[in-house]
């Protein structure tokens, strides 16, 4: 089974930026390729480089990586809940509270990479068990309707967005 790109009616406008960044193709293959590419990118950085921020009050490189992993955790939980048919409305989350509540800058880059890899592998194993029917299920998250498959695309697009920011603003 190949999860196809969701219709714009399957997610809120807030997520359109992320979904648009995702090319056509097999989302599982993209997640796998992204795992390797992102690991390679961050593995080449020292802890000192990981603590770089391009401007005051902007996240450090380590905080960006921690944010990518935390957001994937949240989105994967939403995907699981919706795909399994649970109609419980899911809350939003404040990404800035998550980052400020973590100790990403005090964490070695190697541990942040290991955490990211574990989260991505868990997402990949979750998607192996998602049927076509389950992928199309709609639930509510942050007071918006969203499909399970849209969440898979949001995970990929969200990471692509942050990798673009790292290239443009952090010059990584």
**How many domains does the chain fold into?**
1
Mean pLDDT to the nearest integer, 42-49: 97
Domain range holding 162?
30-169
Does residue 39 surpass a pLDDT of 70?
Answer: yes
pLDDT of residue 170: 97
Please, which pLDDT band fits residue 3 given cuts at 50, 70 and 90? Answer: confident
Please, which pLDDT band fits residue 167 given cuts at 50, 70 and 90? Answer: very high
The residues, ordered by sequence, that sit 6+ positions from 114 with a Cβ below 8 Å of its Cβ are: none
pLDDT of residue 91: 97
pLDDT of residue 2: 74
> Residue 64 falls within a domain, yes or no?
yes
The residues, ordered by sequence, that sit 6+ positions from 43 with a Cβ below 8 Å of its Cβ are: 109, 113
> 140: helix, coil or strand?
strand
Q: Average pLDDT, whole number, for the chain?
A: 97
> Residue 90 falls within a domain, yes or no?
yes
Please, which pLDDT band fits residue 1 given cuts at 50, 70 and 90? Answer: low
- CATH at residue 153: 1.20.120.450
Query: pLDDT by residue (tens digit) across 69-122?
Result: 999 999 999 999 999 999 999 999 999 999 999 999 999 999 999 999 999 999
> Residue 45 falls within a domain, yes or no?
yes
């Amino acid at each position: 089974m190949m999860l196809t790109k969701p219709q714009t009616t399957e997610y809120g406008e807030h997520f359109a930026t992320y979904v648009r960044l995702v090319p056509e193709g097999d989302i599982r293959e993209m997640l796998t390729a992204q795992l390797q590419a992102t690991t390679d990118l961050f593995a080449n950085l020292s802890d000192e480089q990981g603590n770089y921020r391009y401007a005051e009050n902007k996240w450090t490189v380590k905080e960006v990586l921690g944010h990518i992993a935390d957001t994937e955790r949240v989105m994967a939980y939403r995907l699981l809940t919706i795909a399994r048919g649970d109609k419980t409305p899911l809350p939003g989350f404040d990404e800035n509270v998550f980052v400020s509540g973590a100790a990403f800058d005090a964490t070695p880059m190697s541990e942040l990479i290991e955490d990211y890899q574990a989260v991505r592998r868990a997402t990949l194993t979750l998607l192996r068990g998602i049927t076509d029917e389950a992928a199309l299920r709609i639930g509510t998250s942050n007071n918006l309707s969203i499909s399970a498959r849209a969440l898979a695309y949001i995970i990929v697009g969200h990471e692509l967005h942050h990798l673009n920011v790292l290239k443009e603003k952090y010059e990584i």
